[in-house]
């Protein structure tokens, strides 16, 4: 019934939660009635009520709590019914003889089998099927069964004057008890959640063992039935299992263990040791064992020896497998399964020690282009998928004898024996294989790699170890040359590269010191209206003055900052310092309200998803409107498949800033790129301006850019204007804005203020 009011809902929830307590109380009251009842009819009714109630309680618990696995509880419910019928039939057949006395056993034995199945199901769910757990359990089970058979089974089966099947069934019950003890002990020592339902289930099985032992005692004396009190443990067992099924913690019994079963713990040894001693101790204690007892002892001893042998073999195999697993983990990359640096060096040293005369050992150092962006924008799972795909592609295209390894986050190395032609052919094959688009659930990813190549002839044994490390270092060095050449390519190492690498390292260290010591500063160059000479804006240019190196050109340190990621911190500083200066000019009246400032943004910065938020915060901090801020970016940003051009640029444009393509015409200029992205203007590269008046092709390119920009309503700025002739030519072709040495070199903020704030008629407007 569905509750129709909050009060009914609360009452229903309370009943659902406390139903187990009512059942437990009812079962215990029924047990008292069973013991104190004046006649067998009342006792039978009490027993039947609890037995039937236990089955109903289990089915109710299954429907209410939906445990997983479900089928062990269903087996318990059917077992309860079988036990109930068997117990009632035992009372009816109390005076029966012959095969009729087995009528109750036709129900109780299947009930035990269902009970075993349910217990085994819970054990499998909690600890799985582990060889050492199964063998240890069988050792304990065999030991307990041997004891039960000697004390109860053999005497019950040896009673004279009754059918063989009746004696066999009577002697089989101790075996059932041994199996029940085995399962109960294993469930008791299994790790995992141990809620009230778990403890109640164990208590149920324990009292059933007590009841079985009581029946075994009378069975050894030749009796198949006895006092009704012999069934009291089973009534209590019904109570416990029904209560367990109604308790909310019943769903925890089938949960997997959180801790592994220890192969040799003191608790397990405390159970196994007595079981191992059963057969020899019984052989000593029993002075003149009968033939059935000797058979039981011999069979039990052989089983225990066989299980011990199996346990030893399993332990040795397990140790060997663990050793192999540890060795594999120590020499292979966990994510890709490729060799790690240690194993790769071993294989390369083997190659170096046996190089054929006509071949060399070629080492390829691969670094993924733009992998950090994949991790940052799509998450580490996507990055892991890319890494695994690269590993698979390397396996597919590299020669079978090649040594492949993953030596860093997105760094791979390959080594193999080949001549020069074969080596370079493999480099091209790797590049082509990596260029294939990777299909992912969220979006496709374009993969490319930069490859550094180094080679070495055969070395003397004493130089092999150092040779392997030198090859890796040289290939790594050549990889940076491939990166500098534009990525998605390869470069072969030559000794001159070492000096350049060292220079990059020195610049990187010095650049970090420069940020800490305030060696970086901004210079500003005006942007003027070509027709009137009016200053309408400026470009903020980064400069570095080193204490000993002097002025370091941006072309020398910006690429290093890009590769190392330091450009993010530098770009953040530039953004704040430029906006701070613009805010100061605006506040002092040095520039008009329409004066705009252009700031360069690197490709690495645009890959950083935090940039739009940081820019918005900086604009708010300095009180600068977004309409007077221009961000300059290179053409490569828009065509780079690893760059978040569309998403990132649209987020920036949404803030209200302008986006201008710098050095337009030198890279991958195409109308499609300009139409696809929210750019607002272009800057004609100085290489086209310098040829005006002398090179018709440059003039044609400028006219084409102006015409295209006009059609797309884009602003045009010409860079590198150095003389009056260039200014006039650009103005005649329709270019409205320009910057260059004609109006002055970039200067610091103070000099810019002195020079350009004093222009009398500067109507500084865009």
Read off the CATH number of the domain in which 352 is found: 3.30.70.270
Long-range CB pairs of 334-337 (<8 Å, 24+ gap) are 335/384, 335/387, 335/388, 335/391, 335/406, 336/387, 336/388, 336/391, 336/406, 337/391
Please check whether residues 643 and 707 belong to one and the same domain.
yes
Please check whether residues 567 and 711 belong to one and the same domain.
yes
d(CA 731, CA 725): 10
pLDDT at 559: 85
pLDDT at 255: 76
In a domain, 6, yes or no: no
Q: Other CB atoms closer than 10 Å to residue 172's CB: what's the count?
A: 17
User: Does the pLDDT of residue 406 top 90, yes or no?
Assistant: yes
- pLDDT (mean) for 433-457: 83
Please check whether residues 403 and 537 belong to one and the same domain.
no
d(CA 224, CA 229): 14
pLDDT at 14: 47
In a domain, 403, yes or no: yes
Share of the chain above pLDDT 90, in %: 37
- pLDDT (mean) for 116-137: 76
User: Does the pLDDT of residue 536 top 60, yes or no?
Assistant: yes
Please check whether residues 477 and 577 belong to one and the same domain.
no
Please check whether residues 357 and 304 belong to one and the same domain.
no
* Pick from 61-70, 515-524, 639-648: least confident: 639-648
Read off the CATH number of the domain in which 734 is found: 3.20.20.450
Quote the number of domains for the chain: 3
User: Does the pLDDT of residue 463 top 50, yes or no?
Assistant: no
Q: How confident is the model at residue 556 (pLDDT cuts 50, 70, 90)?
A: confident
Highest mean pLDDT (candidates 180-189, 273-282, 404-413): 404-413
Please check whether residues 236 and 381 belong to one and the same domain.
no
User: Does the pLDDT of residue 579 top 80, yes or no?
Assistant: yes
Please check whether residues 346 and 303 belong to one and the same domain.
no
- pLDDT (mean) for 673-684: 83
Read off the CATH number of the domain in which 93 is found: 1.20.1070
Please check whether residues 396 and 297 belong to one and the same domain.
no
User: Does the pLDDT of residue 176 top 80, yes or no?
Assistant: yes
User: Does the pLDDT of residue 608 top 50, yes or no?
Assistant: yes
pLDDT at 224: 59
Q: What is the mean pLDDT of the chain?
A: 83
Please check whether residues 162 and 308 belong to one and the same domain.
yes
In a domain, 499, yes or no: no
710-766 pLDDT, tens digit each: 888 899 999 999 999 989 999 989 999 999 999 989 999 999 999 988 444 443 333
pLDDT at 520: 94
Q: How confident is the model at residue 227 (pLDDT cuts 50, 70, 90)?
A: confident
In a domain, 17, yes or no: no
Please check whether residues 544 and 490 belong to one and the same domain.
no
573 vs 565, higher pLDDT: 573
In a domain, 139, yes or no: yes
User: Does the pLDDT of residue 636 top 90, yes or no?
Assistant: no
Q: Other CB atoms closer than 10 Å to residue 580's CB: what's the count?
A: 16
Q: Other CB atoms closer than 10 Å to residue 687's CB: what's the count?
A: 14
- pLDDT (mean) for 687-704: 84
Residue 429 DSSP SS3:
helix
Host domain of residue 483:
341-494
- pLDDT (mean) for 263-285: 69
245-259 pLDDT, tens digit each: 999 999 888 776 654
User: Does the pLDDT of residue 190 top 70, yes or no?
Assistant: no
- pLDDT (mean) for 372-392: 82
289-312 pLDDT, tens digit each: 788 778 887 888 888 888 888 878
Please check whether residues 298 and 377 belong to one and the same domain.
no
Please check whether residues 366 and 271 belong to one and the same domain.
no
CB 727 within 8 A of CB 691: no
In a domain, 260, yes or no: yes
In a domain, 525, yes or no: no
Among residues 259, 268, 267, the alpha carbon closest in space to that of 137 is found at 268
pLDDT at 457: 62
- pLDDT (mean) for 274-293: 72
User: Does the pLDDT of residue 618 top 90, yes or no?
Assistant: yes
- pLDDT (mean) for 455-482: 74
d(CA 557, CA 511): 8
Residue length, the chain? 766
- pLDDT (mean) for 196-208: 89
354 vs 748, higher pLDDT: 748
Q: How confident is the model at residue 279 (pLDDT cuts 50, 70, 90)?
A: low
d(CA 50, CA 660): 85
Torsion of CA 660, 661, 665, 671, to 10 degrees: -90
pLDDT at 88: 81
d(CA 41, CA 70): 35
Sheet containing 490-492, strands listed edge to edge, beginning at the edge strand earlier in sequence: 403-406, 411-418, 360-368, 449-456, 490-492
In a domain, 303, yes or no: yes
pLDDT at 601: 93
User: Does the pLDDT of residue 81 top 80, yes or no?
Assistant: yes
Give residue for tokens 């030596």: 407
């Amino acid at each position: 019934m569905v509750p129709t009011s909050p009060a009914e809902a609360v009452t229903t929830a309370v009943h659902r939660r406390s139903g187990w307590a009512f059942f437990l109380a009812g079962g215990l009251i029924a047990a008292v009635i069973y013991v104190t009842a004046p006649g067998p009819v009342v006792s039978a009714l009490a027993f039947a009520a609890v037995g039937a109630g236990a089955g109903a309680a289990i089915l109710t618990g299954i429907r209410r709590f939906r445990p997983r696995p479900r089928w062990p509880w269903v087996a318990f419910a059917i077992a309860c019914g079988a036990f109930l019928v068997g117990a009632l039939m035992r009372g009816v057949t109390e005076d029966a003889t012959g095969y009729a006395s087995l009528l109750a056993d036709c129900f109780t034995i299947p009930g035990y089998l269902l009970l075993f199945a349910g217990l085994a199901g819970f054990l499998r769910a909690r600890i799985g099927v582990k060889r050492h757990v199964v063998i240890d359990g069988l050792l304990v089970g065999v030991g307990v069964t041997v004891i039960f058979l000697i004390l109860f089974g053999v005497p019950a089966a040896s009673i004279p004057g009754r059918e063989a099947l009746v004696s066999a069934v009577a002697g089989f019950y101790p075996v059932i008890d041994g199996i029940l003890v085995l399962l109960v002990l294993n469930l008791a020592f299994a790790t995992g959640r141990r809620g009230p339902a778990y403890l109640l289930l164990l208590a149920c099985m324990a009292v059933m063992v007590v009841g079985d032992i009581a029946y075994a005692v009378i069975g050894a004396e030749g009796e198949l039935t006895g006092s009704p009190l012999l069934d009291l443990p089973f009534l209590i067992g019904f109570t416990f299992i029904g209560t367990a099924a109604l308790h909310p913690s019943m769903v925890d019994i089938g949960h997997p263990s959180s801790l592994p079963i220890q192969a040799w713990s003191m608790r397990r040894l405390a159970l196994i040791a007595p079981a191992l001693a059963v057969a020899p101790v019984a052989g000593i204690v029993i002075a003149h064992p009968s033939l059935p007892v000797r058979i039981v002892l011999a069979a039990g001893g052989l089983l225990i020896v066989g299980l011990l042998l199996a346990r030893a073999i399993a332990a040795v195999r397990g140790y060997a497998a663990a050793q192999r697993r540890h060795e594999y983990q120590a020499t292979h990359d966990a994510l890709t399964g490729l060799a790690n640096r240690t194993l790769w060096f071993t294989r390369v040293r083997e190659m170096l020690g046996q190089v054929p005369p006509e071949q060399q050992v070629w080492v390829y150092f691969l670094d993924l282009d733009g992998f950090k962006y994949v991790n940052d924008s799509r998450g580490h799972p996507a990055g892991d998928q890319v890494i695994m795909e690269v590993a698979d592609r390397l396996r597919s295209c590299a020669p079978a004898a090649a040594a492949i390894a993953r030596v860093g986050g997105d760094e791979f190395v390959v080594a193999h024996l080949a001549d020069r032609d074969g080596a370079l052919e493999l480099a091209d094959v790797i590049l082509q294989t990596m260029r294939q688009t990777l299909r992912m659930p969220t979006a496709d990813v374009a993969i490319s790699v930069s490859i550094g190549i180094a080679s070495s002839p055969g070395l003397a044994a004493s130089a092999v170890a150092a040779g392997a490390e030198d090859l890796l270092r040289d290939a790594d060095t050549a990889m940076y040359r491939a990166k500098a050449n534009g990525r998605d390519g390869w470069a072969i190492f030559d000794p001159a590269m070492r000096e350049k690498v060292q220079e990059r390292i020195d610049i990187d260290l010095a650049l970090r010191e420069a940020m800490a010591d305030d060696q970086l500063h901004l210079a500003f160059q005006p942007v003027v209206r070509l027709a009137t000479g009016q200053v309408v804006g400026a470009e903020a240019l980064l400069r570095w003055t080193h204490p000993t190196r002097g002025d370091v050109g941006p072309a020398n340190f910006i690429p290093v900052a890009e590769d190392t990621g330091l450009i993010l911190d530098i770009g953040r500083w530039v953004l704040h310092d430029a906006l701070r200066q613009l805010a100061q000019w605006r506040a002092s009246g040095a520039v008009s309200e329409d004066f705009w400032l252009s700031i360069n943004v690197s490709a690495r910065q645009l890959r950083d998803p935090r940039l739009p938020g940081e820019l918005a915060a900086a604009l708010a901090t300095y009180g600068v409107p977004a309409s007077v801020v221009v961000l300059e970016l290179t053409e490569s940003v828009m065509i780079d498949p690893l760059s978040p051009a569309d998403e990132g640029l649209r987020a920036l444009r949404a803030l209200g800033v302008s986006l201008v393509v710098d050095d337009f015409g030198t890279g991958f200029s195409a109308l499609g790129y300009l139409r696809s992205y929210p750019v607002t203007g272009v800057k004609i590269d100085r290489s086209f301006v310098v040829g005006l008046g002398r090179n018709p092709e440059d003039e044609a390119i400028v006219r084409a850019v102006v015409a295209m920009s006009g059609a797309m309503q884009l602003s045009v700025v010409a860079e590198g204007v150095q003389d009056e002739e260039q200014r006039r030519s650009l103005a005649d072709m329709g270019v409205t804005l320009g910057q260059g040495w004609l109006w002055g070199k970039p200067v610091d903020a103070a000099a810019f203020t002195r020079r350009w704030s004093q222009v009398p008629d500067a109507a500084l407007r865009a």
